[in-house]
Amino acid sequence: MSSPGLRVRSTVPLYVAAGASFAALAARGLTVPLYAHELGASRFEVGALFSVSTLAAALLSLPAGMLVDRLGARTLLAGSLVLAAASQIAIAATPNIPPLFAWQVIGGLAAGAQQAALFSAVTESVRDGQLGRAMGWLTFSMQAGFFLGPSIAGVALRWIDVRTDIAFTTVLLLLTIPGVMAASGTRQSSAGVALVGPLKALLRQSAFLPVSIGLVAATLGWGTVGAFLPVFGREALGLTNAEVGYLLALQAVVNGLSRPAGGRLVDRARHRWPIVFVGVLVWSAASVLLGHLTGFLWPAVVLAVATPFMAVAFVAMGVVFADLSGASTRGVAMGVYGTILFLGLTAGPLAFGPIVQGSGYAAGFTVCAAIAAALALVMAALHAEPLRPREEVRLPPPAPGT
C-alpha cells in the first residue's frame, strides 16, 4: 500500500488529464451545436448530434473497462485522446451536416474510453474509505474542465468564428500528456479477466438494480437539458453565443465546486440512495422551471441552485458502482457504469427531441422531468446498499513468460 503522500502525487496528473480532456469535450459541446445550427440543422438534428456521440461512448464503455483490466489505463487513455483530437480537427474541416454525425460517433468512442480509463485509474489509487473524496476530486476536475472549455470557447468567439474555435480548443488535449504518463502503473491485471464472471459478480450485488435505475433517471434529465441548452439559450432565452458559453461555464463552476464537499458527504452517508433521490427531484423541478424562463439572470440562478444536488448525486452513484467491484474487476464495473451513464445521456435527447421539435422546449423538458422523477421513485422503492465485501473474481494464472 502506498503512502498517502505518494498516492496524492500519483493522482494529481490524472485529475489534470481529466480536467483537460473534459475541457475539450465541453468546448465541443458548445461549439458543435452552434456550428450545426449555422449550417441549418434542425432542433432534432442538434439533439441527435449529441446523442450519437453519447451512444458511441456507451457502446465502448464496457469493452474499454475490460481493456483497462487486461492492458492497463495508459495505452487506452493515450489512444482515446489521439482519437478525440483527430475527430475534433475533422469536425472543424467539415462544411456539411451529415459528416458531423460520423465524427461525433468517433469522438464519443474516445470519450467512453477516457472515462473508463480515468475512473479505473483513480479508484485503484485510493483506499476504500477515501473513495468518495477521490471521486469528488476527479469529478471536480472534470467539472473544472466543463467550466474552462466553454469559457475559453465562448471568449474566443468574440474574435474567431465557430469553425475555427472548434479547431482551436483541440490544443487543450496537450495538457493530458502528464496524466497519460502517470497512468502507466494503474494496470489492474496482467492476465486479464473474462467478461461473464465479473458481470455475474456485479449483477448479484443487491444495490446494482436500484443504483442503475437512479443513474438512468439522473442521466435522462441531465442529458436532455444539456444537449439542448446551447440552442435553447439562443432561441428561447435570447442569448448571444458568448452568453450561452458563460451560462454553461457558470453551471460547470457550481457543479465542480460541489464535488469535493459532496464526496465527503457521500463517504459519511450511511445510505447513498437518498442523495440520488433528492438530486433527481430537484433537477427535475429546475428543468420544468427553466423551460418557462427568458434572459440570462434567472436561468443562471436556477442552474446554480439545482446543479449541486445533481453533482453530489453523480458522486454517490460513482462510489456505489466502485463499491460493487473488486480489485480484479474494477475496470468492468466502471465500464458498466459508463455504459449506463452514456446510454441515459443518449436516450434523453432522442426520446424528448421530437417533443422539443414539435411542442417547444418547455414541453420537452417537462415530460423528461416527469419520467426522471418517476424513475427516482422506483429507485427509492427498491433501494439497497451493498452489505457484504466486494466480490473478487478468481483470475486465471498468468501465461508463461508474462
Question: Position 321: which residue type?
Answer: F
pLDDT at 69 over 80: no
Q: What is the three-class DSSP state of 169?
A: helix
Residue 4 banded pLDDT, cuts 50, 70, 90? very low
Q: How far apart are CA 289 and CA 300, in angstroms?
A: 12
Using DSSP's 3-state secondary structure scheme, residue 287 falls into helix
- 151 touches 24 (CB < 8 A): no
Question: Average pLDDT for residues 299-327, to the nearest whole number?
Answer: 87
pLDDT > 90: what percent of the chain? Answer: 20
- Band of the pLDDT at 112, cuts 50, 70, 90? confident
If one counts every other C-beta atom within 10 angstroms of the C-beta of residue 218, the result is 27
Domain map (residue ranges) of the chain? 4-182+193-381
**Within 10 Å of residue 396's Cβ, how many Cβ atoms?**
10
Please state, in angstroms and rounded to a whole number, the distance separating the CA atoms of residues 401 and 291: 61
Average pLDDT, the chain: 79
Which tens digits make up the pLDDT trace of 189-221? 444 445 566 677 777 777 888 999 999 999 999
HSE at residue 88, side-chain half, CA atoms within 13 A, is: 29
- Closest to 53 measured CA to CA, from 78, 76, 24: 24
The 10s digit of each residue's pLDDT in 317-358 is 988 887 776 555 566 777 788 788 878 887 888 899 889 988
CATH fold of the domain at 4-182+193-381: Growth Hormone; Chain: A; (1.20.1250)
Among all chains, which residue has been given the C-alpha cell 438494480?
Answer: 209
pLDDT at 179 over 80: no
Which whole-number Å values give the CA distances from 244 to 40, 97, 165, 231, 366, in the listed order? 19, 22, 15, 9, 21
